[in-house]
Chains A and B, each alone.
Chain A
């Protein structure tokens, strides 16, 4: 298990890459308008399958919403 901070919430998850985390959370990696950052750095979509996640990493998964 890997202890991560995902969108501000602590979680223990059995994943080792960004792609695995998205799959675990039921997020289609092909969905449009998604973006991911790990420890304050954007991880490009093409890198999701290989991008490693280590204990203590802070992951942000975002999308656009209505805004002004």
Chain B
């Protein structure tokens, strides 16, 4: 009924990508990730504690999932590029979720630096998935420099406000030469389904699962929502009408 998602020649079983941050504990994280059915899990790259090295959670995730390192927190192209290169060395992957933050309060992307860094990373052989603005021009520029997908924000990171500008997301989806992954802002399952109905190829969710009252249940809800939204998109919604349109036959009414 559906076709698998292919990014940069890699086939992904699940159209739900998930973040690994903010879960109440390791057990809940592992069980929630399992419940999402996701194959791609994002991680951050950070300086180690110089107090000594201890096994971390990522040591467990690395064997079960395809790991997508991010450049979260970077505000210059230079730092983002070095972070991507360190991630490639640490995780043996050339995939990177490129984040370049232009404003610490809103975490809005700095498009100018983002395009520059994406261009540079593509030239260095990276498969670049940029977190970007929900505007078709930025997305086109990122595709033009060779990004493997674009990841426009639904609304502010961690805000849970869903898709602030659905018309823009739909426009991006209709024009993008590369897969579109809705990133940031998902608050609950219906937001994820909506993103897919608008034509997104995948959805990335972190906080909405991790910070929900019951992450394992929300993980399962997101999985179902992404599948439902994708199927609904393929099936095609009916046109909206101004007035009622009876679904039962109008002939043979009793008493007429």
Contacts and interface: CB of A to CB of B under 8 A. Distances in A.
Interface of A: 6-9, 25-28, 31-37, 40, 42, 44-45, 60-68
B50 A32 contact: no
Contacts of B101: none
A8 B85 contact: no
Contacts, number: 116
29 contacts: A6-B50, A7-B47, A7-B50, A9-B50, A27-B53, A31-B53, A32-B62, A33-B58, A34-B48, A37-B85, A37-B86, A40-B82, A42-B82, A42-B86, A60-B82, A61-B47, A61-B50, A62-B48, A63-B45, A64-B43, A65-B58, A66-B21, A66-B29, A66-B43, A66-B57, A66-B58, A67-B70, A68-B21, A68-B207
Interface residues of B, number: 39
A7 B48 contact: yes
B44 A44 contact: no
A44 B67 CA distance: 20
Nearest to B62: A33
Interface stretch (B1-9, B87-95, B230-238, B247-255): B87-95
Contacts of A36: 86, 89
Contact of B45 (A8, A25, A64): A64
A62 B20 CA distance: 17
Contacts of A60: 47, 82, 86
B19 interface: yes
A38 to B, nearest CB: 11
Nearest to A27: B53
A55 to B, nearest CB: 19
Given A33-B58, A34-B48, A67-B72, A42 B53 contact: no
B127 interface: no
A40 B7 CA distance: 29
Tell me the interface secondary structure of chain B in the complex: mixed
A41 to B, nearest CB: 8
Interface string B151-180: 000000110000000000000000000000
Contacts of A8: 47
Contacts of B50: 6-7, 9, 25, 61
Nearest to A25: B50
Given A7-B48, A42-B86, A62-B46, A67 B19 contact: yes
Given A7-B48, A33-B59, A37-B82, A68 B53 contact: no
B246 interface: no
A35 to B, nearest CB: 4
Nearest to A34: B90
B58 A68 contact: no
A16 to B, nearest CB: 18
Contacts of A63: 45-46, 48, 53, 56, 58, 90
A65 B86 contact: no
Which 3 A-B residue pairings sit nearest by Cβ, starting from the closest? A67-B44, A68-B19, A68-B206
B36 interface: no
